[in-house]
Amino acid sequence: MNIEDIKGFLPHREPMLLLQHNWLDEEGRACGTYKVSGDEFFLQGHFPGYPVVPGVILCEIIAQTAGILVMDELKKGALSLFAGMENVRFRRMVRPGDMVQTQCVLLRASGQLIKLQGAATVDGQVCAEGVFLLMLQKKEQ
């Protein structure tokens, strides 16, 4: 899926729509990509003269990748919100020009709570990884 397809189910929009491609692999894992251009709003002050993608942004890209796993609920108007993160580790800097590849596997779904294992890599090296808890929440009218 390209960015226009992703907009069909993720409620995010620029500048917070960070996922550029999204697909399910042959094993049912959610996969995605994001190319760091260097012009992103979150790089403006992080860090002047030596921009580094903040770890929380990597977590957000991983969470957006997982959206394809709950696409049907998102298309019905649900929001996917962070409910928690466990054992998150940041192992490598991500800088302008890097192609971030993400992967998520569903560990458990119980009612509105989704638990998944996710990781972001650049050139095969893990940048961020952890367990992410997402809550599907209906929009209040």
pLDDT, tens digit (0-9, with 9 covering 90-100), for 77-130: 899 999 999 999 999 999 999 999 999 999 999 999 999 999 999 999 999 999
Q: What counts of helices (H) and strands (E) characterise the chain?
A: 3, 6
79-117 as b/e, with b when 16 or more CB fall inside 10 Å? bbeeeeeeebebeeebeeebebbbbbeeeeeeebebbbb
- 3-state DSSP percent of the chain in helix, strand and coil, to 5: 20, 40, 40
Radius of gyration, alpha carbons of the chain = 15
Q: How far is CA 92 from the centre of its chain?
A: 17
Average of per-residue pLDDT across 121-140: 95
Confidence of residue 140 (pLDDT cuts 50, 70, 90): confident
Instruction: For residue 84, give the amino acid letter.
Output: G
Q: Tell me how far apart the alpha carbons of residues 117 and 67 are, in angstroms, rounded to a whole number.
A: 13
Per domain, the residue ranges of the chain are: 3-138
Q: Give the pair of three-digit tokens for residue 117.
A: 């294992």
Question: Is 46 a catalytic site residue?
Answer: yes
Q: Give the pair of three-digit tokens for residue 79.
A: 């929001």
From the candidates 7, 12, 21, 46, give the one annotated as an active-site residue.
Answer: 46
3-138 CATH choice from 3.10.50.40, 3.20.20.150, 1.25.50.20, 3.10.129.10: 3.10.129.10
Q: Tell me how far apart the alpha carbons of residues 31 and 109 are, in angstroms, rounded to a whole number.
A: 18
Confidence of residue 141 (pLDDT cuts 50, 70, 90): low
